Amino acid sequence: MQDRCKSLAGVPYDPVSMTENTPPSRNIRADVAIVGAGLVGSTLACALAKHGVTTAVIDRLAPSTLLAPTFDGRASAVALSAQRLLRAIGVWDHLAGQTEAIREIRVSDGDAPFFLHYDHADLGDEPLGSMAENRHLRAALAKQMLSCADHLQIISPASVTSMAQRADDITLTLDDGRTVTTALAVSAEGRNAALRGLAGIGVTGWTYPQIGIVATIGHARSHDGIAHEHFLPAGPFAILPLPDDGGVHRSSLVWTEREDVADSYMALPEAAFLAEIAERVGGFLGELSLIGPRFSHPLGLQFAAQYTSGRLVLAGDAAHGIHPIAGQGLNLGFRDVAALTEIIVDAKQLGLDLAHPGGLARYQRWRRTDNLVMAGVTDVLNRLFSNDVTPIRLARDAGLGVVNRIGPLKKFLMRHAMGTVGELPRLMRGENLNA
Ligand SMILES: Cc1cc2nc3c(=O)[nH]c(=O)nc-3n(C[C@H](O)[C@H](O)[C@H](O)COP(=O)(O)OP(=O)(O)OC[C@H]3O[C@@H](n4cnc5c(N)ncnc54)[C@H](O)[C@@H]3O)c2cc1C
């Protein structure tokens, strides 16, 4: 199937100026409707439009809000397999100069002498993944959506108020009275997905008594492409390498703190906040500075009972929300995108209904197990490491030391971090969907 998107290389572009691009119709039609233009919904929109599947993407927030640099201060560890997906659908090129390769990961536990060390060189030349700031990922996705405008309608700000499923299609009614009728609707609405509720799909989960404090720091010494995960009694403290900006070395911090004290850290004057960070980072990066605002995120785990209901499917955090301890939540969403794109494009090429039950059942089987396993692993890791109980600490430190010494086990875990194990969708294996 030929590429349906135009190159915007060299075109001056301000993503915040992006606006809705729908024709003035009250009744919009497309092959697929995606509700939620977050990182997962936007990636799916780019992937489908690139393969000629006409797509309408709806978000309750205006593009100018979603694309404002201060909307989302997080940076994401993008696994190697997800990088391949983003490259295949034309998004990665828009991130030139804005990503930092993760060459090593060092995991340490409090003051214990053991640490687990992953080095990409043990597996080959490719990095373990790359860090990208979410504001840059959102802008790159917006640029690619614009280049696919012939196949992609952006409808925002608009919310879905009702959903009607029929034998041949599904109609979403928007709060401004317009309707969107498609063969398949995807809820990529994040954790509080309204369509999931409208379809009566239940959710299991719990909150963690922890908050994720996110900040960007500048530092005097280079990070050398090394990501650090330091386990402290309140939870993991991650120092993640970002590209230099204006000659300043930078890293993104995800500081997991106890829920009952996180607000008081968030409210500290800048110098005192920085002093708390410096105490946790240690001296290896040299003098630290704070860049931009701080952000805080409540943490929890949730899991949808099923991923499909008639012509509705769930993807990303709408289907599974996990602890950020392993930097895998978005990567699971990218896998959902790659799997769903493969199933939809295959159906289109074969002239099948895009929501044919066999395809959607395959999506659920394929993605639900993988996501459940990762949700379980992150939950156990967080419980095991976020405490200072001596016998548990001794046991886990011995475990880290053992993993570090057993070469094959360590390589297996490194491949997990790279997202290259399991039944990978074709777009994540570096293959295209035309073959
Ligand atoms: C501190 C922290 C650090 C993290 N770090 C990493 C990392 O390094 N690597 C990684 O892989 N993952 C990471 N994650 C997880 C990752 O950020 C999430 O998994 C990911 O952002 C989920 O994206 P999403 O598009 O599914 O949902 P969301 O980002 O929640 O997007 C949902 C979108 O849907 C829209 N919407 C919602 N409801 C409606 C509606 N009814 N109608 C219309 N629009 C609607 C919203 O406006 C929003 O734009 C981290 C998470 C946290 C909290």
Q: Which CATH superfamily is domain 15-101+130-205+301-388+424-428 in?
A: FAD/NAD(P)-binding domain (3.50.50.60)
Q: Is the CB of 254 under 6 A from ligand 1?
A: yes
Confidence tier at 403 by pLDDT (50, 70, 90):
confident
Confidence tier at 187 by pLDDT (50, 70, 90):
very high
Count the neighbouring beta carbons within 10 Å of the beta carbon of residue 268: 13
Supply the residue whose CA is at minimum distance from atom 20 of ligand 1: 330
pTM, entire model? 0.95
Supply the residue whose CA is at minimum distance from atom 53 of ligand 1: 297
- 204: its two tokens: 């299991």
Pocket test for ligand 1, best of 100, 251, 317, 377 (most atoms within 8 A of CB): 317
What is the pLDDT, as a whole number, of residue 407?
Answer: 73
How much distance in Å is there from the Cα of 329 to the middle of ligand 1?
9
Which own/partner pairs from 240-245 qualify as long-range (CB within 8 Å, at least 24 positions apart)?
240/75, 240/77, 240/102, 240/131, 240/327, 241/100, 241/102, 241/131, 242/75, 242/100, 242/131, 242/133, 242/216, 243/97, 243/98, 243/99, 243/100
Please state the φ and ψ torsions of residue 390, each to the nearest 5 degrees: -55, -50
Q: Is the CB of 194 under 6 A from ligand 1?
A: yes
**CA pair distance 199, 309, nearest whole angstrom:** 7
Q: Is the CB of 129 under 6 A from ligand 1?
A: no
Would you say residue 10 has pLDDT above 60? no
The residue with tokens 């536990």 is 109
What is the pLDDT, as a whole number, of residue 412?
Answer: 73
Supply the DSSP string of 151-186, one letter for each residue.
TEEEE-S--EEEEEE-SS-EEEEETTS-EEEESEEE
Percent of the chain with pLDDT over 90: 75
What is the pLDDT, as a whole number, of residue 119?
Answer: 86
Q: Are 341 and 434 in contact (CB under 8 A)?
A: no
Would you say residue 67 has pLDDT above 60? yes
Supply the residue whose CA is at minimum distance from atom 18 of ligand 1: 330
The ranges assigned to domains in the chain are 15-101+130-205+301-388+424-428
Would you say residue 7 has pLDDT above 70? no
How much distance in Å is there from the Cα of 160 to the middle of ligand 1?
18
Q: Is the CB of 335 under 6 A from ligand 1?
A: no
Q: Is the CB of 342 under 6 A from ligand 1?
A: no
Of 157-171, 202-216, 368-382, the least confident: 368-382
